[in-house]
Structure formats: structure tokens, C-alpha cells
Chain A
């Protein structure tokens, strides 16, 4: 028996992504390797169609598959982030794959499959569905992290990502089992109503374990130990994807649980508070001493996970979580644009085998490649939170949400950490603009595919910084009606 058509409409983006992923895998052995650009092109069409399908899904809001999945403004918002990330990551990596002599077919297919998993997480209204989505995205990401098979660092990154990722998954799953035992359901909306018959201790333990699992996935301290190694060792375009898409999806799942399960807010609040503070300090203090740009950006992404967790803490602290949720969503957009662009620049400038990724190798970049230096500076300034750029408004909304929930200390620590962050972002800019190159590095021309991606991300960063009304308006709309 076929499910009702409306259910299929509501998972249209996942269907498109899955279909194109399989199509690309099917074509990969048929098309000769010299013409693998075609596969990237097909994947791009797939991602673009998935974006269109997301627009189509907006016409049919509501629950699908007897409440397992939900297509609403929130899931649409996150879909747009993760599919947009996939599109830009595929486009930005075409030249990288050619340069490193890697197979484009599987690469693009895996990104599409992972994105389908993230989409499932974004819409999951039931814990096991969320788990399946999490695993779809994680298992594809493990392979992607190890995509430079001959490079020992890439294997090592994949091993660490795989072992710690599965470890976290087991915690997440044990949490689901306990919550199921306590409430007799895994549907988030029913869990809220379960009320009297729930066993409070079991429910609390379950939610706690789910929190640990998700904190691992978003790379929040003290569960962040894998992040620097994985982000440094994985191929740079993969890192660009890993540090943006899966993180957005994991935050989406956390927000969905927070908005639906009444018991989660009070229980998670202090955990979120502590984890946010630890992540901000661990990320920023760790980044200061780094000499490798990829590793520095990895630490900075731990710090940014901390900033987003401040928004989650703000949402957990009140009965009106809308401001916190909207702030987190806006932050995810601004963060995804910037991190994607920065890692793709590193992928290009690193040269064959990613040899030139030390900060020393970026000295004098402004003279060699002024456009690249300007672009990277723009992204770093947005990460820093300079006004006019998206990163500033992201921090501003999070700060505001924290103040509205009376989290004065958290707001102060957020501001303090932004100042610490300025030090290491500016250090890279000083190296690019004010120092002489330490060794001669051949300049490679910027391929047009990468140029397009950088134009989009840079323009997006400025647009979201100057005219945030539409994005924050959409985020605010997404934040209501989540249950």
C-alpha cells in the first residue's frame, strides 16, 4: 500500500536528494573518469531541485507518516540551510577533486545522502526518526572524512570521527530507550502529554543521555575532543560541509525536543549553560595557540557552537522560547555561509595535498592574491562579529535573547569571548596583509566554480548583515508553531 500522496509531498526534498544520490552512484562507473565533471553537474542539479522541492513542501505544511515527520516553517528553514550547504560544497569542491585526483561520483552522492539525513533530522517529530536521520548523515560523513584514502591524516580523522561518533550515537540511543520506557512513546508531541503516567527519573536520565549524544554531534565542550583532529585531517571541502550542515541539523533536533518536551527545558537549562560557557572558552583559548589555519578554524567552530548554545539556553530558560530559537536559526545561517567560504578558500590555497595550511603560509597573501585575501578577511571579520556583517547580527540576536531570559552572566561571557576571538582572527589578517611571505608559494588561478561559491557566500554574509529583516522574520516565523 502506498502512503498518502501528501506524506510524499512533505518529504519531497529527501526523495529528490536520495534519487539523485543513487543516480550519480549508478552513473559513476559508466562515465569515464576524465569526464567526472558531469557527475558534479548532475549532483548540483539534484541539490537545486531539492531546494525547489523544499519550496514545494512549503505548500503542504503538516505532519506526515502518522506524526513521525513534520513539514513546518522550522523544518523548511533548516532544510534550506543544509541543502544550500550541500549545493555550495559540491560546487566549491569540483576543482579540489580534480586536483587531488579523487573520484567525484561517490563524493557527490555521499554529500547528497548525508544531506537527506540532515533533512530527516530537521523534520523529525519522533526520536527514532531523528536517530535514523542522524545516522544517515553520520555514516556518509565518516566515509567523506576518509575520502583522501592515501593520506594517513585523512584516515586518522575518519577513525576518530567514526569511533567517537558511534560512541555518541550509543548514548543518544540509550537515551531514546529510557525515554521510551518512561513515557511509552517516542513521539515528541505525545511525550509532552504523557504527563502523569511518566516515570520522572527515567525520563530525566533519558533526556540527559540524549543531550550528551547531541552535544557530541555539535562539537560542544567537554565533548569536543574529536573536533580539531577531524576538521584538520578531513579533506578541506569535507570539513566545510561537516562544520556547517550536520551541526545545523543536530541543533535543529535539539531545538525540536526543547520546544516539544516540557520536561526538557528545566532539565537541560543548567547543562546548556555550563556546556555553552565551556565551549566558548575551550574553543577560543584553544584557537589562540594554533599555527595551522584549518585547526584554528576548527577551534573557532567549537566556540561558535558555544554561542549557539547560549541561544538554546535562553530558549530553555523561559516559557516563550521563540526569541532564542529564532536567534539560533539566524546564527546558523550566518555561521554556515562564513565557515563554508573560509574552509573552501583553505582548500584552494592549500595546494596539492593540502601542504600549505599553516598560518605562516598565508603571509603576504594580500600581495599574491588580493581577492582571496579580501574574501578570507571578510569571513574572518564576520566570525569575529564586526558590525555590518552577518556574524555581528547573529551574536546580537543571541545576546538579546540571553538578556530577555535574564541570563546576564551568560551574555557577559559571550561578549568577553567575542573579544578573545578577535585576537586570533586578526592575527591571520595581520599575517596576510602586513607580513612578508616566509617562503615562495606558487599562485594557482581561482577556478570559476570556487569564485561563484565565494561570491555567493560573501554576498550572503553582507546581505544578511545589512538587510537581516527577511531572514530573521522567517526565523521568527519558524520558531512559533513547533509542536
Chain B
């Protein structure tokens, strides 16, 4: 049987990859996908803990996260479509009409 810590390390690595991609990628959709990766890393952690603790709760939480992520994706993609229509680009560096 695979020890729980392996799953946790994998989840941490996936989460870290998501953070790195969020910071360095320039395409809005790729950035959005990196957020999804982070959320799924969390799901993995929930399921791993759920098994380690011998409870079902953690697996139920995953469903909540999936539902919320789906709602977020719907809104997020709508925003991305509007951006693409108004500007014709999905490069975050070129979406900069609000200056510092």
C-alpha cells in the first residue's frame, strides 16, 4: 500500500507547480489552468487525508470543491471571452490600461 505521505508530497508538488505557472505564464487561459491545477492538488490532499483518518468527510469536501471550481470556471471563461473580444489578445502583459 502506498503511504499517505507520498500522496501529500505529490499534492504539494502539484500545488507548487500551479503557483509557479500562475506567476510565470502570460496567457490568461494558461494562468486559469494553473489555478485549476492548484485546486486539484487540494482535492488530492483531501482524499489522502480522508483515507489516512478513515473518514468519509474529506471525500465529500472534494465534491464541494469540484462544484465551486466549475462555477468559477464558468464565470472566469466568460470574463476571458469579453477580454478577447474587447482587446483581441489574451496576453496579460498587454492587458494594462489600468496603470500604477
Contact = CB atoms under 8 A, between A and B. Distances in A.
Interface of A: 128, 131-132, 135, 139, 142-143, 146, 149-150, 152-153, 155-160, 162-163, 166-167, 169-170, 173-174, 176-178, 180-181, 184, 186, 228-229, 232-233
B45 A170 contact: no
A156 B95 contact: yes
Secondary structure of the B contact surface, majority rule = helix
B97 A162 contact: no
Given A143-B75, A163-B28, A180-B46, A174 B98 contact: no
A159 B71 contact: no
Given A174-B41, A177-B46, A186-B57, A162 B75 contact: yes
A160 B28 CA distance: 10
A149 B98 contact: no
Contact of A170 (B38, B46, B49): B38
Given A143-B75, A229-B98, A155 B86 contact: yes
Q: Categorize the interface residue count of chain B.
A: 35 or more
A163 B92 CA distance: 11
Given A135-B68, A142-B75, A167 B22 contact: yes
A234 B8 CA distance: 39
Nearest to A146: B79
Given A160-B98, A174-B41, A180-B61, 12 more contacts: A131-B68, A146-B82, A149-B82, A150-B86, A152-B86, A153-B97, A156-B95, A157-B98, A159-B80, A159-B95, A180-B46, A233-B98
Nearest to B96: A156
Given A155-B83, A174-B15, A163 B49 contact: no
27 contacts: A128-B64, A135-B72, A139-B72, A142-B75, A146-B79, A150-B86, A152-B87, A152-B97, A153-B98, A158-B79, A159-B80, A159-B83, A160-B98, A163-B22, A166-B76, A167-B35, A167-B38, A170-B38, A170-B42, A176-B42, A177-B42, A177-B46, A178-B45, A181-B52, A184-B53, A186-B57, A229-B98
